[in-house]
């Protein structure tokens, strides 16, 4: 799955052009939104990450929205807007990573294809985003830790215990969940062959997207394309949380792993 810096960059680009209603919520709780944008990555345990990634998105987003509608918590809403951003990039980015891990990543300028693990590719993408967009100073600030207000941490921990843990079959008590949320930070491992291997697919090799379509998009272009989808998902979630609207299954038709939700 895309790593911390991919999600940070994507979520910040989203909110920069979001509607007034979404921007207002995020401005009230920017720390909750940022924490939500890391989604399942707050879990160190791979099984927890997988359970959240494979959770039924129609149920997951529908039940959390209903809880926010009943509870009225703007903090929980900001967190779930961040989580929606995370979900939008995951379901598009995971198939990209899976494809090139299975089929090899080419070198630049016609270089031969090399075998790289999913983790190698994820790190390579993150390092490109740091180098080309975020800058080292911003990256290092995230590595040092994410500053989240104590009441926000407590509210989101309660949200997990009330709703989210059960939806993903992750059984952690309030104290353990609070500890996980409090310790979230990005890591910045080195990437092998960053200037030699086309981790971002900028030379446009064909691959298969989560929709089943064969495409040659680079990861940069994939994020730009997915932002349009993500804006729609954010607006849909706002409607669900504010008016108790039923989940539109057509909008949440894929799991975060990029698989059809059947």
Residue in 37, 55, 3 with CA at minimum distance from that of residue 230? 37
Whether residue 55 lies inside any domain: the answer is yes
Give how many domains the chain has, as a whole number. 1
Contact 1, 53 (CB under 8 A): yes
Task: Identify the pLDDT of residue 50.
Answer: 73
Whether residue 249 lies inside any domain: the answer is no
**Mean pLDDT of all residues in the chain?**
90
What range does the domain containing 92 cover? 4-243
Whether residue 223 lies inside any domain: the answer is yes
Whether pLDDT at 130 is above 80: yes
Whether residue 258 lies inside any domain: the answer is no
- Going by pLDDT thresholds of 50, 70 and 90, the confidence category of residue 47 is low
User: For the ranges 54-68, 95-109, 178-192, 206-220, which has the lowest average pLDDT?
Assistant: 178-192
The DSSP 8-state label assigned to residue 198 in this structure reads -
Whether residue 67 lies inside any domain: the answer is yes
Whether residue 71 lies inside any domain: the answer is yes
Task: Identify the pLDDT of residue 45.
Answer: 63
Whether residue 53 lies inside any domain: the answer is yes
Alpha helix positions (H), the chain: 4-16, 20-28, 30-37, 46-53, 57-71, 74-103, 118-129, 136-143, 150-159, 165-167, 174-182, 219-243
Whether residue 44 lies inside any domain: the answer is yes
């Amino acid at each position: 799955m895309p790593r911390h810096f991919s999600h940070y960059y994507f979520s910040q680009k989203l909110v920069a052009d979001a509607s007034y209603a979404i921007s207002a919520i995020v401005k009230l709780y920017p720390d909750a939104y940022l924490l939500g944008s890391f989604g399942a990555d707050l879990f160190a345990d791979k099984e927890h990450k997988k359970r959240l990634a494979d959770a039924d998105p129609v149920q997951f987003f529908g039940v959390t929205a209903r809880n926010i509608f009943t509870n009225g918590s703007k903090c929980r809403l900001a967190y779930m807007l961040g989580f929606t951003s995370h979900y939008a990039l995951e379901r598009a980015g995971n198939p990209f990573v899976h494809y090139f891990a299975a089929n090899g990543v080419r070198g630049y300028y016609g270089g031969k294809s090399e075998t790289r693990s999913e983790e190698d590719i994820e790190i390579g993408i993150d390092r490109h985003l740091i180098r080309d967009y975020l800058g080292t100073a911003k990256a290092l600030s995230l590595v040092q830790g994410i500053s989240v207000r104590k009441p926000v941490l407590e509210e989101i921990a309660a949200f997990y215990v009330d709703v989210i843990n059960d939806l993903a079959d992750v059984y952690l008590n309030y104290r353990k969940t609070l500890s996980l949320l409090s310790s979230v930070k990005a890591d910045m491992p080195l990437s092998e062959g960053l200037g030699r291997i086309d981790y971002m697919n900028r030379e446009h090799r064909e691959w298969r997207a989560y929709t089943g379509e064969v495409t040659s998009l680079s990861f940069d272009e994939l994020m730009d394309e997915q932002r349009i989808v993500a804006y729609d998902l954010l607006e849909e979630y706002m409607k669900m949380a504010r008016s108790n609207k039923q989940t539109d299954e057509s909008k949440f038709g894929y799991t975060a792993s990029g698989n059809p939700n059947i």
